[in-house]
Structure 1
């Protein structure tokens, strides 16, 4: 909450003396709190004192604003609000002033959903500003705070505001010279939010808000509330700002932060990092002003001292943020579904150039500065031809798109065995269309990416790879309609790899590898990277996605891997001596229920993959399964595959194939998952685990695991946490029957149920406690008697009070 108050205090000295620049001293003796701070804290007070279901929040807001506000009669209230505040019968007065938005930040901190943020905002706003524009301005602010606090990226917040509230089609530079003082929501809230959207940290956001002029204190208060929720507040600014508040306001702030802990911001070389779950107020004492100030200062210092960040994790997140910000440069002419086609290759181009520079520098140091020696191919993992380096493109001022394409094509041609197609696969990226991407916009993109080096010395392969996986996931978030085609939630991948447990020296194959996430997790599982060289294999039908997989593996430090592009079911590309190549570990999340996949060709498959029959052309699920079974090493092959749960019980051709699968005794485990884990489909999924070399105790048996209740619910999508993954893995590892969770059944048991694998039909349920009808009737009559007595008592009280007559 202190973010809104800091914005108000910083902007106070510029309200009537606008400063259209970001260059000013942030907090000085000339600063002071205004009605923005007083009313923001009054809403905090109302939220703390209303009922838990918020049904009386409106009345409490009136009370808090009047009681607290009257202590500060000269702090800058508008004329109509001033009269309302001193009225004995305060009524809303149809205002659309920005006073509605400047006081609602606390609603965004308290809310547990967007819907609740809207509800709370409406309740504290409609008591005065009941005009639709007043309601909208306050709601936009509260929702932005909620989204920022909930971990949404700045671009996602901007897009949400643009879609639901105000068009975000302007920049601060575009309005700075013409923007004038305006007290309406519609001419204040959009500008304040853009000040946040164009910021790089909390202080920068406040400076942005002040720099456009207008009603500086309110603009900065709105901006500051959102900026704190997103970045946190630097400790030194927080400590200074606390000294501007008197005892009454300070107590409200600290009591609110004890309930809803503040965020702290730390500035690193890469930018701003917010420390989550770090409360700077949870142990602050309340009492006299001096005691509270000292306690708050000590708590802030302690939080700063004790904040321990995982350096690589923080670096990955910051690198991801920088990469994702490139999307902000492209937004407008480039649809968000296309971001990956531009940001992915430009990142890879930069990484190749920076790694090449590192290798050149190492060769120069080794040779005593011999440039000819440093250019020898044996000193580099790949070749970057003359004119195709990042720096060559950076120096171009005209036809920048042509220069980018020339450089990327040149690198591909110079490295046909390793990098062929990694750039040209993104055929929907039109770098040379100036109507879509002007030279100026591309220069902005190049300069943005030039701000950081992404070589091996700057980022380990794990850090680079993780940040890129964050980016892939974010692309999936933005494009859920086709995200499931290339992104499998990491928790599911970890579970599958953990169960297969690939060992050093074993081969791993994914016939529908998407962006390579399963292959990367398999490499992680082995630990010894060198043992995976030459043992990682993948095939992907989509051209651009196969290129992303190769880049992803490369960025994770993988070497000597093979990812091929093509339709696996129609044309498998890993062939050895005319037969399908086999592998120790086969893992995949193939597209669910793929139609028109080539059933006729599969029916007479030359590789014998139709060993149990050919499914119909309406669903390829069992075709994928049989391809993977045929790809398993005969002695040591294991397989983990994600499929829709229909494969467990469908009849017809699928039923016959399932029967033969079960009788083959290759099926080791079935895990059913909760719906909503995967993008782009509401279909419930399951994981099938197969093994050509079952341990003796598992032979003739199948472990059925119901993991449909082992998940963590979130607003937009269900997830599996590490704890959830560990629980399911332990059920598999223990291979035992657990009431409500798992059941080990024999093949004979399954045969008796006509080969269905519907997990719930096997798992033993916990006994339901039953109560005899006489006890139920007795409890009901007793409760009815209590109701009658209570009604009589209530009626007598109403009569006694004169509210009703006998």
Structure 2
């Protein structure tokens, strides 16, 4: 059974729930039972050994018991209850009590996963409605053993179940996971320059996702490194705000032998689960355009009191969009520049250009670019994500650029690298193929200008925003101050964005005057610049850099088409009349 078929088969349990549950609540039963069945199948081959060992050591202290039974199970968790799915079904009249006994038999971190689903509440409700046995019986027929369903496939199954749940409950599936081919492309570019490092025998690296959802980013990165170097080890760390996504991610980490304690619950901005940690790599797809008003007080306090000693020293974006807060948070997790770190983050178009000079967004871009941390931006095809059809980009940010990339930013236009899917999934109608990923990765690695690649100096994105004044005129005379200085007419006040010169971080008065003489004074000779109001801003007008002029069609071509159309229309008209 393929992933789609398996997910549909599991979702078929909803037929049992119909009538006693609202459609929007189906996932509250199906998701935790899927996790529980997966844990049950994973532990099945060592269950008897664990129970035998437990009989011999049950008088030892709890920490010692956990370590011994985990070793016996072969995973970082175990279950010491005598029950499994089959034995639970053998006692129909005690199904509720026995299921609670089974859940209580899991080690602490596995129990926490089920607690996040509020699983005990579901046991009570299902038992009260005489549905518990039927649901358990249905899941007992589903084989989720690792030999049958790999970790990768299980991740896809969870994603498909969440998507179904999100669709019928009008939630946003895209908040929980990212298409795997997008992650694969990001991981390719994130690791691309580090092949020499990552291929070393016994190498251990760390990767962090501050909005990890069900853990797709972490899983794909780990799989990629294993393909590159079976002897390498990637320790993954994540934090997630959504209860169900957190539970699924933690379960996946446990089953794969990763440290489940590396997955933290809560809001990364207000309850940073890794406050004092630094990571080799960061990989994240934060929610697009999400307001941060609920955490505004804490973030503003950190910005005001700690400045660059905290995470948000560069600036605060408008409250309606916290995208650039995520990036600043990740930059605070980079290792010092001598070791260095690399970040890949997905954004919509807003962080590229929103906010004029002096705004929070512009100040954040300015800080990142002037400190030579922005390495590359890739424009992705639209209709690529489940919850939105808009254009998206991902940024590569690092504090250890290769020598050829220092002082430069690479822009890659990959909007045409996709193929249409045979069946849409929400707003996702396009998909990036393996061949597309290979081509985009090569364009990135070659670092040469071409149709899909442009390379700029850092300062090419900077500009000085100057205030241009015109004199106030009354009764045909220029109004002046007591010192004889012309007063500005606020109604005629205007602004000009003057591009920075290569290598500069601001414009001198001479640069500004040169621009004025060339672009402004020929049209308004009485204008002047109020230098006290000049601000330096940064924006990345991605579309402008890849604009291709398409000449208008000639009149002769248009006329020919019209005449041909008229001729065809006359022919159709004659057929109708005859």
TM-score w.r.t. the length of structure 1 is 0.52
Work out the CA distance in 1 between the residues paired with 2:290 and 2:567. 65
Other-structure match for 1:51: none
Q: Does 1:525 align with 2:224?
A: yes
Other-structure match for 2:410: 703
Other-structure match for 2:61: none
Q: Does 1:619 align with 2:305?
A: no
Q: Does 1:345 align with 2:32?
A: yes
List aligned pairs for 1:569-584, cutoff 5 A.
569-575=269-275, 580-584=276-280
Other-structure match for 1:493: 183
Could you give the per-residue CA deviations for residues 655-704 of structure 1, whole angstroms, max 9, x where no partner exists? 11111111111101112334433333455332111111111111111111
Gap change, CA 1:605 and 1:593, over 3 Å in 2: farther
3-state SS of the aligned residue for 1:507?
strand
Unaligned runs of 5+ in 1: 1-313
Other-structure match for 2:453: 742
Gap change, CA 1:768 and 1:411, over 3 Å in 2: same
Other-structure match for 1:637: 341
2:251–2:260 CA contact under 8 A, matched in 1: no
List aligned pairs for 1:778-793, cutoff 5 A.
779=557
Work out the CA distance in 2 between the residues paired with 1:789 and 1:589. 55
The Cα shift of 1:546 comes to 1.1
List aligned pairs for 1:442-591, cutoff 5 A.
442-479=132-169, 481-501=171-191, 503=198, 504-527=203-226, 531-532=232-233, 535-556=235-256, 558-559=258-259, 562-575=262-275, 580-591=276-287
1:465–1:555 CA contact under 8 A, matched in 2: no
2:239–2:263 CA contact under 8 A, matched in 1: yes
Which deviates further from its counterpart, 502-511 or 448-457? Answer: 448-457
Task: Give the structure, 1 or 2, with the largest relative contact order (CA under 8 Å, sep 6 or more).
Answer: 2
Other-structure match for 1:137: none
Rg larger for: 1
Work out the CA distance in 2 between the residues paired with 1:736 and 1:407. 60
Work out the CA distance in 2 between the residues paired with 1:785 and 1:542. 62
Gap change, CA 1:705 and 1:783, over 3 Å in 2: closer
The Cα shift of 1:549 comes to 0.9
List aligned pairs for 1:53-202, cutoff 5 A.
none
Work out the CA distance in 2 between the residues paired with 1:563 and 1:513. 9
3-state SS of the aligned residue for 2:325?
helix
Q: Which has the larger strand fraction?
A: 2
Gap change, CA 1:383 and 1:788, over 3 Å in 2: closer
Q: Does 1:609 align with 2:311?
A: yes
**Paired residue total:** 467
Work out the CA distance in 2 between the residues paired with 1:736 and 1:556. 40
Query: RMSD between aligned alpha carbons?
Result: 3.5
Which deviates further from its counterpart, 646-655 or 448-457? Answer: 448-457
3-state SS of the aligned residue for 2:172?
helix
Other-structure match for 1:726: 438
Unaligned runs of 5+ in 2: 59-67, 464-498, 500-536
Work out the CA distance in 2 between the residues paired with 1:432 and 1:793. 73
Gap change, CA 1:612 and 1:791, over 3 Å in 2: closer
Work out the CA distance in 1 between the residues paired with 2:87 and 2:564. 86
List aligned pairs for 1:210-225, cutoff 5 A.
none
3-state SS of the aligned residue for 1:423?
helix
The Cα shift of 1:433 comes to 4.4
List aligned pairs for 1:373-388, cutoff 5 A.
377=69, 378-380=71-73, 381=75, 382-388=77-83
The Cα shift of 1:649 comes to 0.4
Could you give the per-residue CA deviations for residues 457-502 of structure 1, whole angstroms, max 9, x where no partner exists? 4444444444444434444454553212212122221111121127
3-state SS of the aligned residue for 2:300?
helix
Gap change, CA 1:358 and 1:663, over 3 Å in 2: same
The Cα shift of 1:727 comes to 3.7
Other-structure match for 2:20: 333
Work out the CA distance in 2 between the residues paired with 1:355 and 1:793. 72
TM-score w.r.t. the length of structure 2 is 0.71
1:670–1:687 CA contact under 8 A, matched in 2: yes
Gap change, CA 1:529 and 1:348, over 3 Å in 2: farther
Matching residue within 93, 97, 102 for 1:407: 102
Work out the CA distance in 2 between the residues paired with 1:344 and 1:690. 36
Work out the CA distance in 2 between the residues paired with 1:619 and 1:670. 19
3-state SS of the aligned residue for 2:375?
strand
The Cα shift of 1:456 comes to 3.7
2:280–2:342 CA contact under 8 A, matched in 1: yes
Work out the CA distance in 2 between the residues paired with 1:737 and 1:614. 34
The Cα shift of 1:780 comes to 5.7
The Cα shift of 1:529 comes to 6.8
Gap change, CA 1:481 and 1:713, over 3 Å in 2: farther
The Cα shift of 1:511 comes to 0.7
Gap change, CA 1:372 and 1:781, over 3 Å in 2: closer
Could you give the per-residue CA deviations for residues 112-145 of structure 1, whole angstroms, max 9, x where no partner exists? xxxxxxxxxxxxxxxxxxxxxxxxxxxxxxxxxx
1:514–1:546 CA contact under 8 A, matched in 2: yes
The Cα shift of 1:316 comes to 4.5
Could you give the per-residue CA deviations for residues 384-416 of structure 1, whole angstroms, max 9, x where no partner exists? 2335533443234246445434432x135xx22
The Cα shift of 1:424 comes to 0.5
Work out the CA distance in 2 between the residues paired with 1:326 and 1:794. 57
Q: Does 1:664 align with 2:357?
A: no
The Cα shift of 1:762 comes to 1.6
2:16–2:134 CA contact under 8 A, matched in 1: yes
The Cα shift of 1:585 comes to 0.5
Could you give the per-residue CA deviations for residues 529-556 of structure 1, whole angstroms, max 9, x where no partner exists? 77436x2111112233211111123345
The Cα shift of 1:333 comes to 2.8
Gap change, CA 1:594 and 1:790, over 3 Å in 2: closer
